[in-house]
Amino acid sequence: MGKYDNDVRQLLTLIGGKENIQAVSHCMTRMRFVLVDPKKANEKAIEDLPSVKGTFTQAGQYQVIIGNDVSVFYNEFTAYAGIEGVSKDAVKAAAKTNQNPLQKIMGTLGEIFAPLIPALICGGLVLGFRNVIGEINFFNNGTQSLADISQFWAGTYNFLWLIGEAVFHLLPVGIVWSITKKMGTTQILGIILGLTLVSSQLLNGFSVSSTPADEIPVWDFGFAQVEMIGYQGQVIAAMMAGFVLVYLEKFFKKICPEVISMIVVPFCSLVPAVIIAHTIVGPIGWAIGDAIGNVVYAGLTSNVRFLFAAVFGLLYAPLVMTGLHHMTNAIDSQLLASPSKSTILWPMIALSNIAQGSSVLAMSVLQKKNERAQQVNVPACISCYLGVTEPALFGVNLKYVFPLICGMIGSCCAAMISVGFGVEALSIGVGGLPGILSIKPEYYLIFLLAMAVAVVVPFTLTFIVGRIKLSQEDRFGKDAAPAAVSAEASAPADTNASASAAAATETAASKTEVKELKSILDGKVMPIEEAPDDVFSQKIMGDGVAIEPSNTVVTAPADCDVSVVMADTGHACGLTLSNGVELLIHVGVDTVDMGGEGFNLLVNEGDHVKAGQPLIEFDPEKIRAAGHPCTTMLIVTSEGSASNLTMHTGTDAKAGETAVISWD
């Protein structure tokens, strides 16, 4: 009988049976299924299995999170089901067959915008701060701002535009770079192409609408003239130019002999791409962007704007779950590039963040005695109020459904108030409660009213419905049975035994020499919540740290045993310390898809290693070329006899020297 015999049998049934499995594989922590009909999977029942830590669907794959023991589970599952596992590439290829063209487009769009989001958030905060110090007349009977009465703040106001301009005016540079990164072509060529779109030699794109046609500068080639127009803030034109460069480079790489590739490919790719960008795709992209922006703006300012706002406010959260919300980034950026230099769309997005966060807040109150639920509720609520809704949507609201709907209703009400009064934002990127910083000062009071609605309505509805729908187990946890109360009441009779057990535990702990884990890499140590993978950032596998590496060799964080390795891919391994602490090291995100390319596993399962001993060698350029982040996770999957874990983040660590995790 296998270790997971019962769970394996149930999983096969709950996932729809053998006939519903098109392909199956596994990575370091998850079973990866491609299902014939994903709707047949009983998600709630699967998540209730003892060995399952969670489920989610990504890129056409239904992923079941098991943990470090996933290889054992996988072997038992495939043996019982009578099916053969396939390679990671085969699963990925099969998964694409489950995606329609729109899903593929949205997936690509999401991967392009994802690396730009931190810059947009930073830029939004900077412009929001500029609003406060330079646009709100707090002084002299409402006639002067802080910048008007103080030279220091006036200088600060002007200085901060340096960052704001870099983020929003020069956005095409980031877009074209991100496209080349996503498509695995030469990123510096993408940066150069982006710079040619926003060069100071060109008429600033934001000035085009106010410049008479006969005053727009041109390149005169004798037989033709080309307008010297910049594409500051333009999204669609930049994306089209980026894809032109990508496909030109791929074409010339294919036909050019390797011996002259270094010279021929960059020249033959970049020069035509710049010409095509300024003569063909740039003007076309500008026209498309203007058309989209005009349609959205017309809808938001027309007589039916309340209906438009109601629909958008209601449906934005589901859009986030499908990935379609990334299109709004392009629309918002286009609206900011319009003559008004503002957007009515972004305030509704910030309000939707708040509404979903308020639903989670109500769930947190309802489940305040459910410790396991609170581990998800609290961080999800905080991240939602700060503008990141995925943890709340997937971890809480979608799980119970009614909080999602209550949040959607609150968002709908708040959106109608915002659009009804014409609330405008001067920047994007800052969502949730801080989103008010991006709002034009004259709309602060109205937006505060909309925010209040986005808090009160979802919270009240979720609380009322939750009192009715949530079971005792949902509210108080699995250990809230009457027997638990009885056991607690009888605890005094076992005082001596408990004291003896505690003393024994303390004695064992005192003998444990390992009290900390050293960094496994040189690089920046970040909170695990910032990991670019929801399984890690939501701590489904456990707490830990994420590291942005500046070297290429992963080393052991302490003396330990190698308990599990991914021998075929080399991108991850599991470790066990003498005090029972179990660790997971995972290099990159979704790097299992690389099939071992760029990785060299230096240890075997069962090896005993010393602190600082090399475990995995990797090639960051190959990882990035494959479109994956190099962020490496060090996760404590089981605390053993350790207690009160402390994560040391925000530092530049040295492998084998800097402590990144410690405990009592």
Q: What is the DSSP string of 524-585?
A: EEEEGGGSSSHHHHTTSS-EEEEEEESSSEEE-SSSEEEEEE-TTT-SEEEEE-TTS-EEEE
User: What is the rounded average pLDDT of the residues 328-355?
Assistant: 81
CA dihedral for 310, 316, 319, 325, sign (positive or negative): positive
633 strand-pairing partners: 546, 586
- Mention every residue, 6+ apart, whose C-beta is less than 8 A from residue 410: 355, 358, 359, 453, 454, 455, 456, 457, 458, 459, 461
pLDDT at 258: 83
Structure tokens that stand for 196 in this block: 């040619």
Q: How far apart are CA 415 and CA 428, in angstroms?
A: 16
Supply 420's token pair: 């009804």
Average pLDDT over residues 422-445: 86
Q: Is 81 domain-assigned?
A: yes
CB 630 within 8 A of CB 620: yes
Count of structural domains, the chain:
4
Q: φ, ψ for residue 61 (rounded to 5)?
A: -110, 135
Same domain membership, residue 311 and residue 286: no
Answer whether 43's CB lies under 8 Å from 2's CB. no
pLDDT reported for residue 171:
86
599, containing H or E segment: strand 599-601
Residue 18, domain CATH: 3.30.1360.60
Task: Give percent of the chain above pLDDT 90.
Answer: 40
Res 288 pLDDT > 90: no
Q: Sorting pLDDT into bands at 50, 70 and 90, what band is 93?
A: low
Average the pLDDT over 591-615 and give the result.
Answer: 90
DSSP secondary-structure letter at 593? G
| Residue at 500 is within a domain | no
Look at residue 118 and tell me if it is in a domain: no
> Catalytic pick from 27, 412, 560, 630?
27
Question: What pLDDT was estimated at residue 23?
Answer: 83
* CATH at residue 596: 2.70.70.10
Distances (CA, A) of 403 to 311, 320, 377, 462, 463: 18, 15, 12, 5, 9
Domain annotation covers residue 453: yes
More confident residue, 87 or 23: 23
27 part of the active site: yes
What is the distance between the alpha carbons of residues 558 and 514, in angstroms, rounded to a whole number?
7
More confident residue, 513 or 269: 269
Q: What is the mean pLDDT of residues 581-609?
A: 90
So what's the pLDDT on residue 498?
A: 46
Is pLDDT of 502 > 50? no
Residue 490 makes CB contacts below 8 A (sequence gap 6+) with none
Q: Is residue 195 part of a domain?
A: yes
Q: Is there a single domain that holds both residue 551 and residue 629?
A: yes
The answer as to whether 149 is a domain residue is no
Distance of alpha carbon 43 from its chain centroid, rounded? 22
Query: Does residue 88 carry a pLDDT above 70?
Result: no
Same domain, residue pair 437 and 582: no
Phi, psi of 633 (to 5 degrees): -105, 135
Q: Of the given ranges (160-169, 257-266, 604-613), which has the lowest mean pLDDT?
A: 160-169
* Residue 487 pLDDT: 41
Q: Are residues 45 and 184 in the same domain?
A: no
- pLDDT tops 50 at residue 412: yes
What whole-number distance in Å separates Cα of residue 320 and Cα of residue 534? 14
Q: Where is the domain boundary, 292, 325, 345? A: 292
Same domain, 459 and 341: yes
| Contact (CB, 8 A) for 124 and 428 | yes
pLDDT tens digits, one per residue of 379-394 = 888 878 888 787 788 7
Rounded to an integer, the average pLDDT of 235-262 is 92
Indicate whether 309 and 434 sit together in one domain.
yes
Residues 179, 236 within the same domain: yes
Residue with tokens 């609150």: 410
286 and 344, same domain (yes or no):
no
Q: Is residue 189 packed enough to be buried (19+ CB in 10 Å), middle (13-18) or exposed (0-12)?
A: buried
Has residue 176 got a pLDDT over 80?
A: yes
Q: Are residues 200 and 52 in the same domain?
A: no
Residues 442 and 523 in one domain: no
Q: Decide if pLDDT at 150 tops 90.
A: yes
Last residue of a domain, one of 81, 99, 117: 99
Quote the tokens at residue 410.
């609150």
Q: Is 350 inside any structural domain?
A: yes
- The stretch 367-385 carries a mean pLDDT of 84
What pLDDT is recorded for position 59? 63
Provide mean pLDDT across the span 387-405: 82
Q: Which residues pair with 154 in a beta bridge?
A: none
* 415 confidence band (pLDDT: 50, 70, 90): very high
pLDDT-wise least confident of 212-226, 380-394, 642-656: 380-394
Q: Rounded to two decimals, what is the model's pTM?
A: 0.56
Q: Considering the domain boundaries, does residue 498 fall inside one?
A: no
Cα(first)–Cα(last) distance of the chain, in Å?
38
The token duo for 444 is 């602060």
The per-residue pLDDT for 327 is 64
pLDDT of 28 > 50? The answer is yes
Instruction: Indicate if 288 and 331 belong to the same structural domain.
Output: no
Confidence of residue 26 (pLDDT cuts 50, 70, 90): confident
Alpha-carbon distance of 455 to 475, in angstroms, equals 22
Tell me the pLDDT tens digit for each residue of 95-123: 555 566 666 666 667 677 767 777 877 87
> What is the percent of the chain where pLDDT is above 70?
87
Which among 84-88, 124-128, 195-199, 334-338 has the top mean pLDDT? 195-199
The CA angle 459-464-467, to the nearest 5 degrees, is 120
Average pLDDT of the chain, as a whole number: 84
339 and 471 assigned to the same domain: yes
Domain boundary among 416, 450, 475: 475
The range of the structural domain enclosing residue 413 comes to: 305-475
Residue 483 predicted with pLDDT over 50: no
